[in-house]
Amino acid sequence: MTILNVTVDTSSSGRVDQIGDGSPEPEPEQSPAAADVALGVRHLCDSGITTLPDRYVLPPADRPGNISPAVLPVVDMAALRAGDPSQLATLDAACRDHGFFQVVNHGVSPEIGRAMLEAARRFFFELPLAERKRHMSGYIRAAVRYGTSFNQANDGVLSWRDFLKLLVRDARRLADDDWPREVRAAAAAHAAACQGVFRELMGAALDALGVVSRRGELLEECDAGSQMMMVNCFPACPQPELTLGMPPHSDYVLLTILLHDDVTGLEVSYGDGRWASVEAAAGAVVVNVGDHLEILSNGRYRSVVHRVRVNGRRARVSVASLHSFAAERVISPAAELVDDRDRPRRYMDTDMAAFLDYLATAEGKHKSFLHSRRINVSPSSVSSSKDDGDSCGCQFSP
Ligand SMILES: O=C(O)CCC(=O)C(=O)O
Ligand SMILES: [Fe+2]
């Protein structure tokens, strides 16, 4: 996988770490409080705050409330590899009805994930600010970017999150010299493992969708596509009930492979205002469908809105590996999934320019990009009655 001449880094929806949100260094005229905010939540915690600064306080309607656990479908990768048709049906249903699922028997050594999380913790919690700051950058194509919140330049309310973005520039030489040396080896091993899982799941998803004519070509595009790892840090928060670690968003990619520690926090939307918390079996990998796969599948698969809740007692660390085609590629519904009779085309062509245009005008509305690409079709002309037009919603009832 090589990402050359990429104008904009591919990332998940709504984030501008890839677009450049101005200098994260505090401006000289900023008040000390503003400067602290720009340096991230990890730094705010070190400064000894006991209440949540106003910039992080969400309006009551957007605060996290009571939720129940989500029951994520389980996809057995070993059975998929063995060509078990019922497992392909399980994957198909998971992408269609849930958008999130857990993968077991993926073949990735648990040591790789453990080492990645340990390296992330060392980076965020052991490195002094002066060291971490060296990786702060406003340069949009930086292979490394240390930042805070979600879309720091546009966020009306900031998110209780710091992150380290690691762009994979060359899949054959993963240990990028620009990546912080504290995480380099662990991140390279983890990135390679995620690529393998992504490739296998995409092959199976294309089979399940019946995308046969261009299957090989599309998988080659996956191999030559984009990968970015977002290493997220959600420190323990003084008033967790007033804020979020990540606001509601969907991921602007084909698939996201998610690794997190034993602290819960990820929540998925039912699409009707209710949320469910994601818990995966030990050793399982959590995977979610992104906007590009929803479009490629012409709405058969769902890119589900999710968010992260923070915790009053324990810090949480997660690593999202975001995978798609090359960043400059136009994404359209697959030809096999569109016809003039009962499967009208449901999405406009989408590219990075459309995404950036949307972001520039959509302050805070991280979750609506996909909706802006939808073509309204009358329900009577759609064969699948499953999709009620709200692509955010999913089914997680036990
Ligand atoms: O921390 C998590 O569990 C989710 C992170 C996430 O949604 C993302 O990085 O896009
Ligand atoms: Fe996400």
Distance 266 CA to ligand 1 centre (A): 7
Report strand pairing: 74-76 vs 100-104.
Answer: parallel
Q: To test the ligand 1 pocket, which listed residue (9, 10, 12) has its Cβ within 8 A of the most ligand atoms?
A: 12
Six token digits for residue 336: 């096999």
Residue located nearest, by CA, to atom 9 of ligand 1: 320
Between the CA of 340 and the centroid of ligand 2 the distance, in Å, is 34
Ligand closest to CA 260: 1
pLDDT in tens, the chain (398 residues): 332 222 233 334 444 343 333 334 344 444 446 667 788 999 999 998 999 999 999 999 999 998 989 889 999 999 999 999 999 999 999 999 999 999 999 999 999 999 999 999 999 999 999 999 999 876 767 889 999 998 877 788 999 999 999 999 776 666 678 899 999 999 999 999 999 999 999 999 999 999 999 999 999 999 999 999 999 999 999 999 999 999 999 999 999 999 999 999 999 998 888 999 998 898 899 999 999 999 999 999 999 999 999 999 999 999 999 999 998 899 999 999 999 889 999 999 998 888 888 877 765 555 578 888 999 866 544 433 333 333 445 555 43
Question: 302 CA to middle of ligand 2, Å?
Answer: 13
Residue 259 Cα to ligand 1 midpoint, Å, equals 9
Residues 6+ apart with CB under 8 A from 12: 230, 249, 250, 251, 252, 253, 256, 290, 320, 322
Q: How far is the CA of 275 from the centre of ligand 1 (A)?
A: 15
Ligand minimally distant from the alpha carbon of residue 165? 1
The amino acid sitting at 205 is: A
- Output the pLDDT for position 371: 84
Got the DSSP string for 353-395?
A: HHHHHHHHH-TT-GGGHHHHTBPP--GGG-S--S--S-TT---
Question: Does residue 288's CB lie within 6 angstroms of at least one atom of ligand 1?
Answer: no
Domains and their CATH numbers in the chain: 68-376+385-396 (2.60.120.330)
Element (H, E) at 234: strand 226-234
Q: Which atom of ligand 1 is nearest to the CA of 318?
A: 1
Q: What is the structure's pLDDT at 154?
A: 78
Compute, in angstroms, the gap from residue 269 CA to the centroid of ligand 2. Answer: 12
pLDDT for 355 equals 84
**What pLDDT score was predicted for residue 30?**
42
> What is the Å distance from ligand 2's center to 322 Cα?
9
Q: At residue 346, what is the residue type? A: R
Choose the residue to mutate in 150, 308, 322 for probing ligand 1, maximizing ligand atoms within 8 Å of C-beta.
308
Question: What pLDDT does 7 receive?
Answer: 27
Asked if 34 and 22 count as a contact pair (C-beta separation under 8 A), the reply is: no
Q: Would you say the CB of residue 246 lies under 6 angstroms from ligand 1?
A: yes
Residue owning the nearest CA to atom 6 of ligand 1: 320
Counting ligand 1 atoms within 8 A of each CB, the residue from 12, 227, 246 with the most, and so the one to mutate, is: 246
**Mutation test of ligand 1: which of 258, 303, 307, 392 has the most ligand atoms closer than 8 Å to its C-beta?**
258
Q: Tell the residue nearest (CA) to atom 4 of ligand 1.
A: 266
Tell me, what's the pLDDT at 364? 52
321 Cα: distance to centroid of ligand 2 (angstroms): 10
Q: Quick one: tokens of 93?
A: 């249903």
CA distance 187 to 327: 21
